[in-house]
Amino acid sequence: MSSDLTPSSPSAAEGVEAVSVLADELRRRMYGFIRRAHRPVTREEAAADAGISIKLAAFHLDKLVAAGLLRAGYDSPGGEPRVGRRPKVYEPAGTDIRISIPERRPDVLAEILVDAVLGQEPGEDARAAALRTARQRGEELGAATRTRRRPGRLGPERSVSLSEDVLEEHGFEPDRRAPTELRLLNCPFHPLAARSPELVCGINHAFLGGFLTGLRTAGIEAVLAPRPGRCCVELRAAPGGNGTPGPPGSCAKEPGARNPEERKPD
């Protein structure tokens, strides 16, 4: 089937749009019918099941396509050869729609843990494998961002600006308090962080440190700074200042080391 829509992982805004489209009872029925069919469905078939005209069915089906819930193409229903123009057909886009405010990303954490288990090296314990894998995933994100944005040399302020844009897309809710300081108001891995803060915050810290390494930033670092109601990691100017980077992703405190005034992280 030739598709006119490429499925992709939806952003939070796209997820909200998808849910709003499904608020219509008729569209929910048509979407459910197509999911249960387990094959491409024509407009005529969808219209007959819903008890509406083909023109009205086409309108609602295209709304579902625009929301990323269905993908459309041209094929013969059931794969049977057909003479003449092939009809337009619809099938589920395979998109996983989840809405959380603030945004949560347990899938990222789950992928890191699965990769850590599958790639655990001889003599390496589970926690070390998880931290190593998280750093690798962060480096991949940073390198991909650098390839896509082509920012050139990054000093401290530009490093923070670019990091702010990317981390906003990944649900961290960055809050820039100073030119070289970025607090992260949301933990995408909550509530798992509340269950095992030392492990999950360590993974988060390794991921963000790896991101800075892959992005090839200068003069900033990921620092563990747990505070109630927000992410346990901040991006700050590295020791030395004036654009002199410290070790990539280095931190002022090791996981588990707490300031007496600090409470359990979000």
Give the side-chain half-sphere CA count within 13 A for 195: 4
Q: How distant, in Å, are the alpha carbons of 65, 72, 125, 133 from that of 120?
A: 41, 41, 8, 9
Nearest to 26 by CA among 58, 50, 43: 50
Quick one: average pLDDT of 15-19? 70
Question: The domain at 106-237 falls in which architecture?
Answer: 2-Layer Sandwich (3.30)
Confidence of residue 75 (pLDDT cuts 50, 70, 90): confident
- Higher-pLDDT residue of 216 and 265 is 216
**Of 175, 194, 174, residue with least CA distance to 106:** 194
Fold of 2-92: Arc Repressor Mutant, subunit A (1.10.10)
Other C-beta atoms closer than 10 Å to the C-beta of 74 total 14
* CA-wise closest residue to 39 among 1, 13, 2: 1
How many of the other CB atoms lie within 10 Å of CB of 22? Answer: 17
Short-list 86, 70, 113, CA closest to 207: 113
pLDDT exceeds 80 at position 245: no
Q: What residues are paired with 183 via a beta bridge? A: 175, 234
Write the CB contacts of 243 (distance below 8 Å, at least 6 apart in sequence).
155, 156, 218, 219
100 pLDDT tier (thresholds 50, 70, 90):
low
Quote the CA–CA distance of 21 and 27 in Å, as a whole number: 7
Sequence-distant (6+) residues with CB within 8 A of 87 are: 42, 43, 44, 74, 75, 76, 77
Name the pTM for this structure: 0.60
pLDDT digits (tens, 9 = 90+) for 124-151: 999 999 999 999 999 999 999 999 999 9
Q: Longest Cα pair distance anywhere in the chain, in angstroms?
A: 77
User: In Å, what is the CA distance from 107 to each residue of 167, 170, 171, 192?
Assistant: 16, 12, 13, 11
Start and end residues for every CATH 3.30.1380 domain found in the chain: 106-237
- CATH 1.10.10.10 positions along the chain are 2-92
CB-CB contact of 187 with 233 (8 Å): no
